[in-house]
């Protein structure tokens, strides 16, 4: 995959259901070999966007281009999709249904058999192969569904809320698998409303709310462009300095430190100087980046 050509490109895509516009003139592009976070609150239009990418529905306006082409049934084979609404055939054996799903993606025979063995052992479920889906716990089922999305070795993997309802051990396991796929050059779209998770694994993000794009770019760009300065501070004395509204907008106290959000345009160096000047003893002074969660709440919060 060349770096210049995006794996996926959405150009002013709009989808309406009756009077309701689910996705409104959305443009975004996903670069090859990156993990792309499609973020937004529930009902923002994430799932509808994904459905247009995988070819379940067609956009009313705009175009979706995958690997530089319109999505066709053949191209569908190169996508792996773990939907948010997901399930398994209850009475079918785990191995049989995984093979069925991969056959629907054009993988069969010896290759399917090998992929099945490999992935089952990766998620530590090899001995469950002949069991029926109903005998599996919810977490196990979720791992099987994950395999269904990746077994046919797709170039683009789309995961819609992949970690919801998983215990921390399994979240780590799946996260490592996703990073492994990224290292193998796969492109991954990751949709979630859990910002902590997105922050840890995404390279690029696109935040949508109420059918529209709010912001997009690499995590670094997004954070630096957010124009917000906060300082983590542990000190003794000089409290008066923090009450200057020209310098500090607000203070949030934690158990062993406090977080001071600087007033717009204020320089953190000025704060440090003033504190020292006031005779404070500073034990910790650290510039904190805004978390995605902060950005999310700031951009979306008042709206919800």
Partner 1 sequence: MSKFLAVVRREYIQRVRSRMFVLVTLGAPLMFALFTVVPILIAGIKTGGPTRIAVLDETGKMFERVRDSAGVGRDSDGGDDDEAKTDEAVSGSANQNTRGRMEEMAKASAQNYEFERVEAAGRAPAELRAQLDERVRRDELDGYIVLPSDVLERGEAEYYSRNLGDVFTRGQVRNAVVKAVRDARLDSHGVGPEVMRAVNRPVRLKATKAGGGQGGEEDKGQGFFIVFGAGFVIYLTILMYGQVILGAIIEEKETRIAEILFSSIRPFALMSGKLIGVSLVALTQFAIWGVAFVGLGAYFAAKGMAVSFPRIPAGVFAYVVLFFLLGYFIYATIYALVGSMVTTSQEGGQLAMPIILLLVVGFYLAFPVIRSPNSTFAVWVSMIPFFAPITMLIRIVSQTPPLWQIALSLGIGFATVALLLWLAGRVYRTGMLMYGKRATIPEVLKWVRQP
State the Cα angle at 291 between 285 and 293, rounded to 5°. Answer: 145
Looking at 84-92, 189-197, 215-223, 265-273, which segment touches partner 1 (CB under 8 A)? 84-92
Three-point CA angle 285, 290, 293, nearest 5°: 135
Would you give the binding string for partner 1 spanning residues 187-226, x where CB under 8 A is met? ----------------------------------------
Sequence-separated (6 or more) residues with CB below 8 Å from residue 265: none
Could you tell me the smallest distance in angstroms from the CB atom of residue 238 to partner 1?
Answer: 58
Q: Does 279 bind partner 1 (CB under 8 A)?
A: no
Is residue 21 close enough to count as binding partner 1 by CB under 8 A? no
Kind and range of the H or E element at 295? Answer: helix 292-300
By CB under 8 A, residue 123 contacts partner 1: no
The kind and range of the H/E element at 196 are helix 195-201
Nearer to partner 1, 89 or 285 (CB): 89
- Residue whose pair of structure tokens reads 């694994």 in the numeric block: 201
Instruction: Work out whether 109 is an interface residue with partner 1 (CB under 8 A).
Output: no
236 binds partner 1 (CB under 8 A): no
Q: How many residues bind partner 1 (CB under 8 A)?
A: 32
Which residue, among 25, 33, 101, has the nearest Cα to 59 in the 3D structure?
25
| Shortest separation between residue 219's beta carbon and partner 1, angstroms | 28
Among 14, 29, 89, 299, interactor with partner 1 by CB under 8 A: 89
Among 5, 104, 121, 252, binds partner 1 (CB under 8 A): 104
Question: Which single residue is written with the structure tokens 């995961």?
Answer: 159
Please say which residue, 17 or 236, places its beta carbon nearer to partner 1.
Answer: 17
Q: Which stretch of DSSP H or E encloses residue 54?
A: helix 46-54
Piece of the chain touching partner 1 by CB under 8 A; list 75-83, 119-127, 173-181, 283-291: 75-83
Token code pair at residue 68: 């530089």
CA distances from 274 to 221, 232, 259 (A): 30, 16, 17
Residues in CB range of 80: below 8 A, 6 or more apart: 105, 149, 150, 151, 152, 154, 156, 157, 158
Site membership for partner 1, residue 55 (CB under 8 A): yes
Contact range with partner 1 by CB under 8 A, out of 105-113, 166-174, 238-246, 284-292: 105-113
- Which positions touch partner 1 (CB under 8 A)? 17-18, 51, 54-58, 60, 73, 76-77, 79, 81, 83, 85-92, 100-101, 103-106, 108, 148-149
């Amino acid at each position: 995959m060349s770096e210049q050509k995006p794996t996926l490109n959405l150009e002013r895509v709009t989808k309406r259901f009756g009077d309701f516009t689910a996705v409104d003139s959305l443009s975004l592009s996903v670069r090859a070999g990156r993990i792309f976070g499609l973020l937004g609150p529930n009902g923002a239009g994430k799932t509808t966007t994904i459905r247009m990418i995988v070819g379940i529905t067609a956009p009313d306006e705009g175009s979706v281009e995958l690997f530089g082409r319109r999505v066709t049934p053949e191209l569908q084979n190169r996508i792996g999709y773990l939907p948010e609404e997901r399930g398994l055939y209850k009475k079918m054996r785990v191995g049989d249904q995984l093979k069925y799903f991969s056959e629907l993606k054009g993988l069969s025979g010896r290759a399917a058999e090998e992929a099945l063995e490999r992935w089952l052992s990766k998620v530590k479920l090899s001995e469950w192969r002949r069991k029926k889906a109903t005998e599996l716990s919810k977490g196990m089922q979720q791992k099987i569904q994950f395999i269904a999305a990746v077994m046919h070795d797709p170039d683009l993997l789309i995961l819609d809320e992949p970690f919801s309802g998983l215990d921390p051990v399994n979240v780590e396991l799946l996260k490592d698998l996703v990073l492994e796929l990224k290292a193998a050059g796969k492109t991954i779209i990751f949709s979630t409303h859990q910002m902590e998770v997105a922050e840890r694994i995404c390279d690029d993000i696109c935040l949508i709310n109420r059918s529209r794009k709010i912001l997009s770019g690499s995590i670094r760009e997004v954070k630096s462009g957010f124009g917000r300065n906060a300082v983590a501070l542990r000190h003794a004395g000089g409290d008066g300095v923090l009450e200057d509204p020209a310098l500090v907008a607000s203070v949030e106290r934690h158990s062993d430190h406090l977080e001071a959000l600087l007033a717009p345009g204020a320089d953190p160096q000025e704060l440090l100087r003033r504190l020292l000047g006031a005779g404070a003893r500073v034990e910790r002074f650290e510039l904190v980046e805004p978390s995605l969660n902060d950005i999310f709440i700031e951009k979306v919060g008042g709206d919800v």
